[in-house]
Amino acid sequence: MRIMSDTIARLAAFRGRQAGHFPGSTSPDRLSTLSDFGSNPGGLKSRFYVPAGLSKGAPLVVVLHGCTQNAAGYDHHAGWSQLADHAGFALLYPEQHHGNNPNLCFNWFRPGDTRRNAGEALSIRQMIEAMVVAHGLDRDRIFVTGLSAGGAMASVMLATYPEVFAGGAVIAGLAYGRATTVPEAFDCMRGQGAASDEELWGLLRNASRHPGPWPRVTIWQGSADHTVAPSNAEDIAAQWRSVHQLDEMPTRSEVLGVRTKRTWCNDAGEAMIELNTVAAMGHGTPLGDDLGAAGPYMLDVGISSTREIAQFWGISEAREAAFASTVPATVNDRQATLPAPVAPTPEAREAEPEAYALGARWKSPVSDPSGVKRIIEDALRAAGLMR
C-alpha cells in the first residue's frame, strides 16, 4: 500500500512535471496578502486584488491556480487583474503551499478538504467572507474559477457552497466527488471509471442541503488534453444539468473558429451551462486578444477564456458606478492587511441575516484600529464559519 505522502507527490501538476515549474517568481505581482481571514483549517495562503477606487457593491471573482503555479503568476498570465481594472470587480486568489501539497495542487480529491465546513474548502469560504465584509462586495455576484487542480477545486466550492456563488467556470477540471484517493484521482483524470448521470447528480446533491437556485457554470476543455481527459468536461456538464433540470441535448450548439460551444438554457432562455471545447488544445487555460501572457499551461489559442468567462457571468463590461471618486491609499499596499470595511446596509442585513449578524458590535476602524480583524472574525462566527 502506498504511503500517502508519496502518492500525493505523484500528483505532480496533473503530470505537470513534464513541463517544469511555473515561473511565478519572475512574473509581475499585482496582488496583496490577505492575512486575517479566520481559523484557516486548510492552511492555505490568500492573495487579493482590488482596483483603485472600487466602490462598495462590486462583484468578487475567486481564482484558483493549477498545480506548480502560484497566485501572482496565474493572475499575470490569465489577465484577471487587467480585466478587473477595466470592468470593476475584486479578485481573491487562494494559494496552495508545499506543506499542504508538494506540487502546489489544491487537494480536490481528499475528503477532509472537499467537504462543506472543513479543510481547504472552509478556508476558501472564510477568505470570501473576509473580502466581502472588508470591501463591501456584492454577495449576489460572487464567482469562482480555476484551472486543472484549481478547476477541480472550483467544482468543490460550487458543490459545497452553492448558495455563495452566482456562477462558476471550470477549466480542464473534474466533476465534484469523483475521487477520494490519489489512485482514483489519476483514474478520473485519464477518463477511466465512468459515472452515470444519476451518480453525478447524487454526488452534487449530497454536498450541501441547498434547495436552489443553482450557480450558472461555464466549462472549458481542450480536445487534445492528455492530462485531464475531455470526458471529464462532459461529466461536469452532466452533473450541473441534473440540478438545473435540463435536457441532455443542448439548447444550441455553435462552431466559433477553433471552439465548439454547447449551451443549455432554462425555460426563460437564460444560459445556465456552457461547454466550450477548443480543438487541438492541450492542458491549460485558453488565452487570446490583449489579456494575459502565454506560459506553461497558459495557451495562446486566440480565445481569451478570462474575457469569455466574465462575459458569461455578466461582469466584463466597464461600469462607471463601480469606481469611487477617491482612492483609498492602502487598497493595494502589500504591507497593509485589509482596508476599512463598509458597514452593511439594512437591505444587506435583511438579505443575509446570518452573515450580517454584527448588530451593535459594528465599530468604525477609524476609532478602533483593531476593529478590522475583530469585525471579520465576528462575521465569520455569525455565519458559522469559525468558532
Domain count, the chain: 2
238 shares its domain with 344: no
Q: Are residues 229 and 354 both part of a single domain? A: no
Range scoring the smallest mean pLDDT among 252-256, 271-275, 372-376: 372-376
Query: What's the pLDDT score for residue 356?
Result: 32
CA distance 7 to 4: 5
Residues 31 and 61 in one domain: yes
Quote the mean pLDDT of the chain: 84
Domain hosting residue 32, numbered range: 4-335
Domain shared by 323 and 358, yes or no: no
- Whether the per-residue pLDDT at 362 is higher than 50: the answer is no
Spatial neighbors of 135 by CB under 8 A, at least 6 apart, are 50, 54, 56, 58, 90, 338, 339, 341, 342
Are 330 and 362 contained in the same domain?
no
Are 148 and 222 in a shared domain?
yes
Are residues 294 and 211 part of one domain? yes
Say whether both 318 and 357 belong to one domain. Answer: no
Regarding whether 203 and 329 lie in a shared domain, the answer is yes
Residues 218 and 344 in one domain: no
pLDDT in tens, 18-47: 333 333 446 789 999 999 899 999 999 999
Q: What CA–CA distance (Å, rounded) separates 10 from 103?
A: 9
Please identify every residue annotated as catalytic: 148
What are the angstrom distances between the C-alpha of 131 and each of 72, 90, 382? 18, 9, 15
pLDDT tier for residue 349 given thresholds of 50, 70 and 90: very low
Q: Could you tell me if 323 and 352 lie in one domain? A: no
pTM here is 0.82
| Residue 77 and residue 218 in one domain | yes
Contact 273, 246 (CB under 8 A): yes
